[in-house]
Structure 1
Amino acid sequence: VAIVSRNADVLDATAAEIREATGRRVLVVPADVGDEAAVERLVQVVLAEYGRIDVLVNNAGGPPPGTFTDVSDEDWLHAVQLNLMSAVRLTRLVLPGMRERRWGRIINITSVSVKQPMPTLILSNAVRVGVVAMAKTLAGQVAGEGITVNNVCPGSILTDRITQLTQADAQREGISFDEALARRAAAIPMGRIGLPEELAALIAFLASERAAYITGTTIQVDGGAFNGLM
């Protein structure tokens, strides 16, 4: 396993957890996936260590919350680089090896906002849809080569991202963090925030051989919060 983040301390702690739980090798690569040169370097490092990349999970952090009038051109361009172009570049770099071996899994972690836009997440709403469209198009092109391409859409999951968004909600509405979190949970049919391991279970399945006939899909993990049919 190779894991990538801008935060070296988080990487080291996560790697230690994985090693303790699995006994497997973990390669730590500090990098900003929004930077083109950094993406090229990190793929080179992983290939030098392992010789191949069979599964790619694109999971760049989400752009900051805001409405249309809150965000600048710079915010838009940064969101495109971080959330769209990181997935495009990493996919482009790993795809040749997957095609050569006729096996691969590409999984993009997006957001339930690609199916149900959220008023205060204009950047995420717009940019992440591009990832979904790219993945759907690519999935059809490589389906006959043993490669699947899918998107996973988290709703409210207990992560730093939800903490950030809930803090923004609390500040905007003039309420406490706990009250804002309770409101978020109450809006979910299951009545609670999801756990990281519940999201991870779907990702692990999509990365497995058992998911060989699933491609071009966009699946939400949101406790039933998405109010739509597709």
Structure 2
Amino acid sequence: MTVSELTTSAQDYLKMIWSATEWSETPITVSAMADRLGVKPSTVSDGIRRLSKQGLVTHAPYGSIELTAAGREHAVQMVRRHRLLETFLVEVVGYGWDEVHDEAEILEHAVSDRLIRRIDEKLGHPTRDPHGDPIPSANGHPHTPQGSPLTSVSPDRTVTITRISDADPEMLRYFTELGLAPDTRLTVVAHRPYADVTTIRLSDRDVDLGPSAAEAIWVIAS
């Protein structure tokens, strides 16, 4: 079975399961998947059972969901499709980085492997998408994400943004206004846990970030 032979929901489930542990060590659960998809847990449970029968996942009752080797292969292919499409939409079509996630969610199920190869060639084989998420290689090898959450960086350290979560388009637009994007350099001034504020210094000003904004940013040492 190829990834194109899977149903749209199966493709979505596998991609979500894999992506959940790319930047976190916590495997995803049925309830968490249901929350993200906006469906009932019973609907997700039915889908997971079908994937289990196909040998693509393992799932202990009320426990986390794990991909099998075959499931992981299909999931990585879907992640590659999604991130190449996002990159193509930004670099070639002219979309904003806050506009591409939903478009790529639709297109990734319709494009052929041949078109994905052509897009990859057209873009010069990019290694990350507009948000900094690594793009798996053509042979299905996922590149290891680099970076640490901004919230974990000690004050007075200068760092470079390596990735910004694309979960919230409004937040991406906010970051655009602030001048925050992958490759932006900044200095962590202070974490104020009781005020839920992280203060960063850009080249010309200090900026206070709330918890959701600070948690969306991953950085590496400059």
TM-score, L = length of structure 2 = 0.25
Higher RCO (C-alpha under 8 Å, 6+ residues apart): 1
TM-score, L = length of structure 1 = 0.25
Query: In proportion to residue count, which structure has more helix?
Result: 1
